[in-house]
Amino acid sequence: MKSKKQSIKRQLPSGVSLQEIIKDTLFVELGSLVTKKLAIKSNLKISYHIGYDLSEQISLKPDSILVSGPENYISKIKNIELEPIVFEDCKGRFCKKGCC
């Protein structure tokens, strides 16, 4: 039994410890798996050249994604924020990052 306990301990990730083994029983607290739809939040910083502006609202496609995982992690996530993108002095429809 002692060799099996050592074998199990070596397989556990750091921060997880094996407290006790009861013959033929291994209790593992996994939590419940959930799926949640999260909105994607853009992080755009756009400055326009004089005389230029948006003709319609910016939309993201997809505007949301499904994430799955342990409930205690997923419940804390409110949205997915994209990395910042900066567009400066934009004049055209397909403005490149940093210039147009």
Looking at this protein, which amino acid is placed at residue 64?
S
Q: What is the pLDDT of residue 93?
A: 62
Summarize pLDDT for 40-68 with one digit per residue, the tens: 999 988 888 888 888 888 888 999 999 99
pLDDT of residue 46: 87
The pTM of the full predicted model, rounded to 2 decimals, is 0.55
Q: Which residue has the higher pLDDT, 10 or 2?
A: 10
Secondary-structure percent of the chain, ordered helix, strand, coil, rounded to 5: 15, 35, 50
Side-chain half-sphere of 16: how many Cα atoms within 13 Å? 9
What's the CA gap between 27 and 40, in Å, rounded? 37
Cα–Cα distance measured from residue 25 to residue 39, given in angstroms and rounded to the nearest whole number: 42
Mean pLDDT for the stretch of residues 61-87: 92
